[in-house]
Amino acid sequence: MSEPENQKPAWWHWHRHLYNWVVHWADTRFGMVALIVLAITEPICVPIPADVMVIGMCLGKPGRAIRYGLICSIFSVLGGTIAFALGLAIGGDNVVAFFEHIRLGAKVNLALELYRKYDFWAIAISALTPVPYMLFSWLGGMADVSIKKFVLISIIFRTIRFGSEGLLFYLFGRRARTFIEKYFNLATVIVIIGMALIVLAVKKLGHLFTG
């Protein structure tokens, strides 16, 4: 998983160095511990998506891929719940000030607006897509979302995200990596649209039976 010597990034590309350092753990006997640690810390403070560890672990042992995906899902939701609770404990003003300090102030306002307009879908999209789950985890309390709702929706959509990655590797082995890297964003859009249609259908049926 590590890059050849002549392709190493420049020293100032800290984000890429962090990425490489995280991924290298997948090739060691501490891979499972590293997966759990990254899954928990990503929603709190780490700017590296846990997908990189899931993919790295699954590449090494495709037969355990579903297990890796589910473990990542569980601990990612735990991390998101910790961030949610910390956001409530620290206070909204302090959380906003922190994100403004790291130049994410505009994204905070956008996230809060999405929370207040769409509620369920704001959590679902952040849990399923590359939209920063960390941001929505910290801001959930500010948007008056119940922690129970946040956890339940996160469980569903984080499991869809990481569990489906594990399932693909289990079924297709190394070929799954090409599919995930090429079609991940498209697949998440399809899932979101599908879920929206299901919700609309349920609401429509509910009106029919109650009307």
What is the pLDDT at residue 93? 84
What is the pLDDT at residue 103? 81
Extents of the domains making up the chain: 5-210
Q: pTM for the whole thing?
A: 0.78
The closest of 179, 167, 128 to 136, measured between CA atoms, is 128
List, in order, residues 6 or more apart from 203 with CB less than 8 Å away: none
Q: How far apart are CA 105 and CA 121, in angstroms?
A: 21
Question: Among all chains, which residue has been given the structure tokens 């846990």?
Answer: 50
List, in order, residues 6 or more apart from 57 with CB less than 8 Å away: 26, 31, 32, 35, 64, 65, 68
pLDDT tens string, the chain, 211 residues long: the values are 444 444 554 444 555 666 677 777 878 889 999 999 999 999 998 878 898 889 888 888 899 999 999 999 999 999 999 999 999 999 888 888 888 887 878 888 888 888 888 888 889 888 887 778 999 999 988 888 899 999 999 999 999 999 998 998 899 888 887 877 777 666 666 766 766 666 566 555 545 444 4
For the chain, how long is the longest CA-to-CA vector?
Answer: 69
The 10 Å Cβ neighbour count of residue 9 is 13
Q: How far apart are CA 167 and CA 163, in angstroms?
A: 6
What is the pLDDT at residue 204? 59
Q: What share of the chain is helix, strand, coil (3-state, %, to 5)?
A: 80, 0, 20
DSSP code string of 119-170: THHHHHHHHHSSS-HHHHHHHTTTTT--HHHHHHHHHHHHHHHHHHHHHHHH
What is the pLDDT at residue 5? 43
81-115 burial string, b = 16+ CB within 10 Å, else e? bebbeebeeeebeebbeebeeeebeeebeebbebb
